[in-house]
Structures are given as structure tokens and as C-alpha cells.
Structure 1
Amino acid sequence: MKWLGPSSGGPGLAAPADVPQPRRAHGVLVTAGQIALIVGLWLFYLLCRHVFEGSEHVARAHADDVWSLERTLRLPSEARLQDWVLHSDTAIRLVNGIYRYVHFPAMFCTLGLLYVRRPDVYRWFRNVLILTTGLALVGHILYPLSPPRLEPGFGMADTGLEFGQSTYAGKPGTGFTNQLAAMPSMHVAWAALIAFTVVLCLRTPWRWLAPLYAVLILLVVVVTGNHYWLDGIVGLALLAVAMVVFRPPRPAAVRA
């Protein structure tokens, strides 16, 4: 499978040797600026999540509300789904590994590929990513939510902790990571954005398998006890809002 579009490089990528030096220098500066923008905004996102970490008491109360709402809506039980996977150590270790190691590399690889191969789609993708993550940050601040793995009454295990693959060190309120920022799930929103972009950019019929990646990530975050179904649903809703603000390029134009 190939990412469609020119292979001569994205906006600001270093040009071939026959391109004048000033142009190459400008390209390097633009590329460095894009990297600084993405990294800077990500660090700002993490800092705000840490500084504005909510009360654990409030987060637990919200967890009870979310759990009750899901049962009212007759959504499948996260605990029952986890029980099925816990019967296999290999399966649960695989799920833990996907949660820990796939999320960020998949996003950074997609950004890099788009920047090099599809600069027009890259600009749209970057804007949607920034807006979706910004909206999620508002949700993390205004609605602290304890994940199901931290709620003994829900009957779910902390699979990462039990199998020595935990992404989080210590209890909530310790360390730099905000463990009470379960709502919404950026794992699910980012995975759906990547899947949509793959369908948009590729010509092969295999591209229609890309949405399975988003489904897989949704199952992973639920099975590991890090998110509720509603976290993923709200994440998808925020992504939809961002796509309304920044309309996706037309597939025909992208593949021309």
C-alpha cells in the first residue's frame, strides 16, 4: 500500500541537491517549526492535565454516574468483556502492550507520513488533531473521572498493574500523569482520526480495514480498565465536531 501523492517531500522538507541553498534552509526551518508546534502543544496539554487534576472524591462520584448511565443505556458490561480476555495471559499481555506502545507511535508515524507524502492532508489532519485534543483537555478539566480499574466496586482488574505492564506509576495524585482524566478517551479519538485518514488517502480496497484499528483500540482501552465505553463515544463525538470545523478534503481531490 502506498500513501498517494508526490514523493518530493512535504512543505518545508529538505529539497534535492539541485535546489538553491536558501530554499533548502527555509524548508528545514519550516519543518523544525512544525515539529516544535506539535511537541509544544503536546507538552502544554500534559502540563494542563497535571496542573488542573481534579479531586479524587469528585472523580469517583463521576465514575458511579457514568457506570449507572451505561447500565441504563444497556451498554455491554466492561467487566464481563475483561473477564473473557483474562482467561488468557497471552491475550491480556498483548492488550496491555497495545495500550502502552501503539498509541503515540501510530500518531507520530501518521503525522510524519502525511507531512512527507500528503502535505495538503497533513494540514487538515494537524488542525483536526489540535482541536480534538484541545476539546478533550476541557473535558479532562471540567469532568474528572476515575477509570474503572481504580473502582473496586465495578469488578474490574488493573491489568497493567497485575501483569507488570502498567503505564502509570503510583496512585492518583502522584507522578506527572493525571489518572483521573478518563473522559474522553484520546486513544479512541486519535485511532479513529488515523483510520479515517487512511481511508481518505489510499486507493487500495484494503484501506477499508483501517476502521478495525479504531475498533481494536476501543476494545483495548476497555479491556485494560482504563476507560468506559462512554469515554470512547465522547471522544468520537469531539472528533466529529472538529471535522465539522475543519472539513476533510474530498477523496477524489486527495487521490488525483
Structure 2
Amino acid sequence: QLATGHTAQAFANAHRVWDAERFLHLPGEGAVQSALLHSDTLVHVANTYYATVHFPATAAFLVWLYLRRPTHYVWARRVLALVTAAALVGHLTFPLAPPRLLAESGLLDTGQLFGPSVYGAHPATDAMANQFAAMPSLHFGWALMVAIGLIAATRSRWRWLWLLHPLLTLLVIVGTANHYWLDSVAAAALLCLALAVIHAPHRTATTALRGQEHARAGIPAQDRPELVGAGR
């Protein structure tokens, strides 16, 4: 609601971002969308991924950390909170129309055309979402933090495959024309700053096992010795 009424500024900023990407010779978002448009099913899957994976995946990540890696949960929660707060400030101070709304981009609004869509057909009057909150992309920022958090909190040799989540998210948000490439660059930069300020805990096998035992025993967080010094 605070972001309503900034339509002219949002489109002016969209033209600036589009021109900046062309100046930097970034690959066109249209190349990704063209690949999706080869199949109606693929477009529908991408729209569904955009609409349904963002919040549940992040929530599942935090719940798993809370139950299995308590010290990492505190760290990840703080990083996500800081990134989200900074992003919301960015959304208010730099309203940005996504490429699906920018005629100059030549991109289609795949959500409206193929479904499902999480946004109303009229951005300026959408009461459920701020459609001008393109930069930074929290879809990408959260997905990248989920991957980094799971890589930091686990020891499996396959843990690096979690990076497929932000990679797939990036292709989806660009291919559906909900975000520019630079939206993800801005989100990654914010996340790097947050990670520089809030350091990941050093987990040992003993600490992890103790944390799991205490969590299963129902011991409150403030009484768990493995959380001392990690914050709550």
C-alpha cells in the first residue's frame, strides 16, 4: 500500500534499467523466455514454480534448520531478515516495473497468458501485491540464501547441488519476465553484505548432534548450551 501511486516513476526506472543492461551487454531476457515458449507445458511449469515455490521452500528451509541445526537457524533467520528489510527499503525508494510490463522489452506476461498468475491484471490497483517491487529480487535472494544455508549446515558431498535452486529460480523469474537480470545482481549484492555482517557459526559434529538431541527433548532454546554465543 505504501508503494502505490508511483506508476510513472516505476516505468521511468524500468527504462533506465533496460538501457543499463543493454549498455552492459547483458544477455537479453528474451532469450530465456523464447526457450520457455517452445512448450506451453514448460511455460505453465515455470509460472507455477514462480507462484508456489518461493515461500514454501524458504519456510521449509527455516523449519529444518530450527529442528536439526539450531545455531544455523539463528544465523539464517537473521540474514534473511536483514536482506528482506533492505530489499523492502529498495522497493519503496526505487519502484521498478518488471519487464513483463515494459513494452520496450517485447516480453510477454506469461502468468496472465498461460497461468497461473499471482498478480492482478492492473498493477496500479493491485491490492494484494506491489508489482513494482522488482529490484532487488527477493525470489532470487531467498533462493540463494537457502542454497548457501544448506551448504553451510550440511556435510554431504552432494550439498553443492542445492545451488540448482537459485539457478532454476533465476531462469524462471527472467523467463517469465517478472525480473531483469540486474534485479538478481542487486539481490546477490545485498545477500553478500548481509553475510559479511552476520557470520555463519562454526559447527562441529558434536555440537550438531547435541543440538538435535536437545531439540528432540524439547529443551527451550534459551537453555541450550550449544546456542550460547550464537544469539537467539
Q: Same fold (TM over 0.5)?
A: yes
Aligned twin of 2:192:
240
The whole-number CA distance in structure 2 between the counterparts of 1:135 and 1:104 is 18
Q: CA deviation at 1:205?
A: 1.1
User: What TM-score, normalized by structure 2, do the two folds share?
Assistant: 0.85
Q: Considering only aligned residues, what root-mean-square deviation do their CA atoms show, in Å?
A: 1.4
Alignment of 1:193-204 (within 5 A): 193-204=145-156
Pair 1:207 & 2:159 matched: yes
Q: Could you say if the C-alpha distance between residues 56 and 119 of structure 1 is closer, same or farther in structure 2, counting changes exceeding 3 Å?
A: same
The whole-number CA distance in structure 2 between the counterparts of 1:183 and 1:96 is 19
Structure 1 residue aligned with 2:142, among 190, 194, 197?
190
Is the Cα contact below 8 Å between 1:53 and 1:141 reproduced in 2? no
Residue 117 of structure 2 aligns to a residue whose secondary structure is: coil
Pair 1:155 & 2:111 matched: no
Structure 2 residue aligned with 1:144, among 79, 83, 95?
95
Aligned twin of 1:222:
174
Q: CA deviation at 1:80?
A: 2.1
What amino acid maps onto 1:142 in structure 2?
A: T
What amino acid maps onto 1:219 in structure 2?
A: L
Residue 210 of structure 1 aligns to a residue whose secondary structure is: helix
Aligned twin of 1:91:
42
Residue deviations 1:182-206, cap 9 Å, x none? 0100000000000001111122111
Specify every segment of 5 or more residues in structure 2 that has no aligned partner in the other structure, as ranges: 210-232
Specify every segment of 5 or more residues in structure 1 that has no aligned partner in the other structure, as ranges: 1-49
What amino acid maps onto 2:195 in structure 1?
A: M
Is the Cα contact below 8 Å between 2:2 and 2:92 reproduced in 1? no
Structure 2 residue aligned with 1:113, among 58, 61, 64?
64
The whole-number CA distance in structure 1 between the counterparts of 2:113 and 2:89 is 31
Higher mean C-alpha displacement, 140-149 vs 196-205: 196-205
The whole-number CA distance in structure 2 between the counterparts of 1:127 and 1:54 is 31
Q: Could you say if the C-alpha distance between residues 224 and 118 of structure 1 is closer, same or farther in structure 2, counting changes exceeding 3 Å?
A: same
Aligned twin of 1:80:
31
User: What TM-score, normalized by structure 1, do the two folds share?
Assistant: 0.78
Aligned twin of 1:181:
133
The whole-number CA distance in structure 2 between the counterparts of 1:233 and 1:227 is 11
Residue deviations 1:6-50, cap 9 Å, x none? xxxxxxxxxxxxxxxxxxxxxxxxxxxxxxxxxxxxxxxxxxxx2
What amino acid maps onto 1:215 in structure 2?
A: L
What amino acid maps onto 1:205 in structure 2?
A: R
Residue 51 of structure 1 aligns to a residue whose secondary structure is: coil
Q: Could you say if the C-alpha distance between residues 222 and 251 of structure 1 is closer, same or farther in structure 2, counting changes exceeding 3 Å?
A: farther
Aligned twin of 2:220:
none
Question: Displaced runs of 4+ in structure 1, greater than 4 A?
Answer: 251-256
Residue 124 of structure 2 aligns to a residue whose secondary structure is: coil
Residue 130 of structure 2 aligns to a residue whose secondary structure is: coil
The whole-number CA distance in structure 1 between the counterparts of 2:204 and 2:5 is 45
Aligned residues: 207
Q: Could you say if the C-alpha distance between residues 54 and 143 of structure 1 is closer, same or farther in structure 2, counting changes exceeding 3 Å?
A: farther
